[in-house]
């Protein structure tokens, strides 16, 4: 991967619906170069999938829950990871290093659904501790584009044309 690949990824992070032609014009390279590099990044797994970001409140969610989980000593973390992924409402599960073993991000449709999720996790005997945080509303969006200057192959990747 080089600076051009990174710039293509940055443009797609901002707007995944941009055409190869639009990206090529912004970056000053040919549409065919963008297409070939995109295809290569999909093939090698750099780009796993293209997705959409949904305003969860507009589809009825009351918020989100961030759950920090600690496992019992000697717990089978791979098995726990697999069980957590299939729980209703779970959007993201990641294993951590530090005071907690897992971070779980879940949609919260209502308090009853949150209680059911917490009970499902508590049923797993290898989980010692659950520390929930309920987010009622989110006032920010996130981006993979850094707020600081990054240079790659002598190109400033945070400057857009």
Q: Per CATH, the architecture of 56-135 is what?
A: 2-Layer Sandwich (3.30)
Q: Say whether pLDDT at 127 is over 90.
A: yes
DSSP E strands, 56-101:
63-71, 90-95
pTM exceeding the 0.75 threshold for the entire prediction: no
The pLDDT value recorded for residue 108 is 85
pLDDT tens digits for range 18-63: 999 999 999 999 999 999 999 999 999 999 888 777 777 787 778 8
Higher-confidence residue of 140 and 77: namely 77
* pLDDT confidence bin for 137, thresholds 50/70/90: low
Distance of CA 117 to the CA centre of its chain: 20
pLDDT for residue 49: 86
Compute how many other C-beta atoms are within 10 angstroms of the C-beta atom of residue 133. Answer: 9
How far from the centroid of its chain's Cα atoms is residue 140's Cα? 15
* C-alpha to C-alpha distances, 150 to 34, 37, 153, 158, nearest whole angstrom: 21, 21, 10, 6
Map out the domains of the chain as residue ranges.
3-51, 56-135
Residue 146 has what pLDDT? 47
What mean pLDDT, rounded, does the chain reach? 85
The stretch 15-20 carries a mean pLDDT of 93
What contacts 55, CB < 8 A, 6 or more positions away? none
At residue 152 the predicted structure's pLDDT band, cuts being 50, 70 and 90, is: low
- Name the fold adopted by 3-51: Arc Repressor Mutant, subunit A (1.10.10)
Count of other CB atoms within 10 angstroms of residue 140: 5
Q: Which pLDDT value is given to residue 107?
A: 87
């Amino acid at each position: 991967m080089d600076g051009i690949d990174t710039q293509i990824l940055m443009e797609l992070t901002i707007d995944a619906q941009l055409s190869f032609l639009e990206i090529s014009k912004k970056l000053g390279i040919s549409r065919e170069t963008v297409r070939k590099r995109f295809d290569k990044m999909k093939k090698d797994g750099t780009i796993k999938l293209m997705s959409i970001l949904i305003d969860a409140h507009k589809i009825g969610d009351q918020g989100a829950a961030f759950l920090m989980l600690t496992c019992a000593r000697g717990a089978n973390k791979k098995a726990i990871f697999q069980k957590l992924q299939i729980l209703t409402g779970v959007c993201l599960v990641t294993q951590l290093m530090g005071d907690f073993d897992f971070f779980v991000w879940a949609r919260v449709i209502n308090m009853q659904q949150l209680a059911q999720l917490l009970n499902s996790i508590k049923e797993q005997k290898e989980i010692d501790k659950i520390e929930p945080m309920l987010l009622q509303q989110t006032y920010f969006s996130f981006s993979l584009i850094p707020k600081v200057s990054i240079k790659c192959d002598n190109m400033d990747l945070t400057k857009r044309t």
